[in-house]
Amino acid sequence: MFDTAELGRTVSKEDYARQAAPLRLDLLQTQFKLKKAPFPVIVLFGGVDGAGKSETINLLHEWLDPRWLIAKAYGEPTQEALERPLFWRYWNDLAPKGRIGLYQSAWYSDPILRRVYGKTSTKEFEDSLDHIRNFERALTDDGALIVKFWMHISKQDEKTRLRQLEQDPLTSWRVREQDWENWEHYDEFIEVAERAITKTSRGRAPWHIVEGTDENFRTLSVAGTLLRRIHEHMGAIEALEKSGKPSESREDEEARALEGLSYNPTPGVTILSQLDMEQKQDEHDYRQRLEQLQGRLDQLSRQAKELGVSTIIVFEGWDAAGKGGAIRRIIPGLDARLSQVIPIGAPTAEENKFHYLWRFWRHIPLKGRVTIFDRSWYGRVLVERVEGFASEHEWRRAFSEINEFEDQLVDNDTVICKFWMHITKDEQIRRFERRKTQEHKKWKLTEEDWRNREKWEEYELAVNEMVERTSTRRAHWTLVEGNDKKFARIKVLETICGSLEQKIEKVKSRKA
């Protein structure tokens, strides 16, 4: 794979001067055009130590307007990052639409090095590459342009390069003991890198292997490729906008081929229609049961804190179904210093500049803490689907993106409790009418609530498919019969406590 990057290609000073000036101008002008583009440009630099990754990023800073660049180089994760899923820091550092992000030693570095040094098995390495593919697919399906450069030099050239840096007093600080240790494992590194490139070089995010020995050749190769990819992407976006047709990836096509799984031969029969909505909580026992469960939750959440187990609680449901009431009964069982409630509404102007999952990744709790989402990322497959805020191919691909997102949370010792708060249509109208007469609840009733009610059947079908596609063994949905508020609140608390107990026992067994 890397033979073509060891050909000894060079560019003379004269040829470089002739080509660099117009290339730099074109790249700068393109950057200005990008400011209004509906996508970010994410540029990754990986490769052999000493192959020019840092130098190339520095040069792009000279050529381009740094005000519209984001540059990140990754080393060992901070304690804050260690307490969250692996991709948390990468989601937080994403470039917004209209900007170029330059990333060195990003999401490929750690999986490759850990495999080279035998810290992970072949299966664990392959699993990490699957996560990377899913991450990049989520970004490219959302319109992002990903340009990946693998900077390569031969083993002898790397040794020479490290020696030169080491002998120069001005650059000797750049050579670490780890760099020489990596050089000793050069052959293993190349073997693992080949596998990573082979598995993750896909249609919308291919790798570009760059021969890094000659600085002039390396610079023109990277800058020229980056410019070409941006122009191609801008042209493709313009063509799609003119045609009015969504761009579908292979995964979208596969999803469409499986649409028959969601066919309902019995109209009106959904997972919600089968719930027993007559269930009630005995009034006399409610207070005692509530206090018992809140006390149990307090003890379990403290154990979870000691074990580093995080908790995410998601509430979705009909308007007036009791989400807020259920959340208010959870809060007394939690330490206020270790928990927070995130209310989710329409995305802000800033949030619209990123992938829709970006704003949720920002709120992932630290280990041992609890975050409650009052509405969540499922808005993409519910309100955005039904109201037409997301195109069909956008909400359809969201099912797999959400499953991947939640898998990473569970892998990071996070308990996920997802609740759909369900009430009947008749009960909803009764609650709406009561809200009209209650001063402290009038503000809750909006025109949007009435409008959503008119699309009840569409929402019910959307919920049915949401549960079908995203209720997994690791992060399953709990459907809460909410016509009786007391019954609903007790069921929610029992479910959270039960889920925490199961997770705590698993973590204890693993650590024993």
| 114-145 per-position pLDDT tens digit | 999 999 999 999 999 999 999 999 999 999 99
User: What is the pLDDT at residue 261?
Assistant: 44
Q: What is the extent of the structural domain holding 69?
A: 3-243
Q: What is the pLDDT of residues 160-206, one digit of tens each?
A: 988 988 898 888 888 888 888 888 989 999 999 999 998 998 878 99
Assess whether 311 and 384 both reside in one domain: yes
On whether residue 260 sits in a domain, the answer given is no
Confidence of residue 247 (pLDDT cuts 50, 70, 90): low
Predicted TM-score (pTM) of the model is 0.85
Region for residue 73 given its phi and psi (left: phi exceeds 0; alpha: psi -120 to 50; beta: otherwise): beta
User: What is the pLDDT at residue 440?
Assistant: 59
pLDDT at residue 248 greater than cutoff 60: no
Q: Which CATH number covers residue 157?
A: 3.40.50.300
Assess whether 313 and 239 both reside in one domain: no
Give, to the nearest 10 degrees, the angle between helix 109-116 and helix 186-200. Answer: 140
CA–CA distance, 303 with 297 (Å, rounded to integer)? 10
- Integer angstrom CA distances of residue 79 from 82, 83, 135, 373: 5, 6, 23, 24
Assess whether 481 and 410 both reside in one domain: yes
If you average pLDDT over residues 75-97, what whole number do you get?
Answer: 95
Give, to the nearest 10 degrees, the angle between helix 13-34 and helix 53-63. Answer: 60
On whether residue 20 sits in a domain, the answer given is yes
On whether residue 174 sits in a domain, the answer given is yes
Using the 3D structure, point to which of 243, 266, 300 is the last residue of a domain. 243
Assess whether 227 and 292 both reside in one domain: no
Using the 3D structure, point to which of 214, 243, 272 is the last residue of a domain. 243
193: number of CA atoms within 13 Å, CB side? 22
Assess whether 371 and 471 both reside in one domain: yes
On whether residue 197 sits in a domain, the answer given is yes
pLDDT at residue 443 greater than cutoff 70: no
On whether residue 251 sits in a domain, the answer given is no
Using the 3D structure, point to which of 243, 266, 291 is the last residue of a domain. 243
Q: State the CB neighbour count (10 A cutoff) for residue 128.
A: 20
Angle 285-291-296 from CA coordinates, rounded to 5°: 120
CA–CA distance, 337 with 512 (Å, rounded to integer)? 29
Assess whether 187 and 330 both reside in one domain: no
Give, to the nearest 10 degrees, the angle between helix 53-63 and helix 215-243. Answer: 60
Assess whether 490 and 421 both reside in one domain: yes
CA–CA distance, 207 with 1 (Å, rounded to integer)? 11
Domain count along the chain: 2
User: What is the pLDDT at residue 180?
Assistant: 87
Quote the mean pLDDT of the chain. 91
Give the SS3 label for residue 170. coil
Assess whether 239 and 294 both reside in one domain: no
On whether residue 249 sits in a domain, the answer given is no
Assess whether 454 and 330 both reside in one domain: yes
Confidence of residue 250 (pLDDT cuts 50, 70, 90): very low
Q: Are 405 and 493 in contact (CB under 8 A)?
A: no
Q: Are 309 and 367 in contact (CB under 8 A)?
A: yes
Give, to the nearest 10 degrees, the angle between helix 456-470 and helix 392-411. Answer: 40
If you average pLDDT over residues 56-68, what whole number do you get?
Answer: 95
CA–CA distance, 249 with 247 (Å, rounded to integer)? 7
Closest CA to 311 of 231, 418, 387, 225: 418
Q: What is the DSSP string of 233-261?
A: HHHHHHHHHHHT-----HHHHHHHHTGGG
CA–CA distance, 216 with 10 (Å, rounded to integer)? 7
Assess whether 443 and 501 both reside in one domain: yes
Assess whether 232 and 376 both reside in one domain: no
User: What is the pLDDT at residue 182?
Assistant: 84
On whether residue 267 sits in a domain, the answer given is no
On whether residue 266 sits in a domain, the answer given is no
Assess whether 223 and 340 both reside in one domain: no
User: What is the pLDDT at residue 202?
Assistant: 82
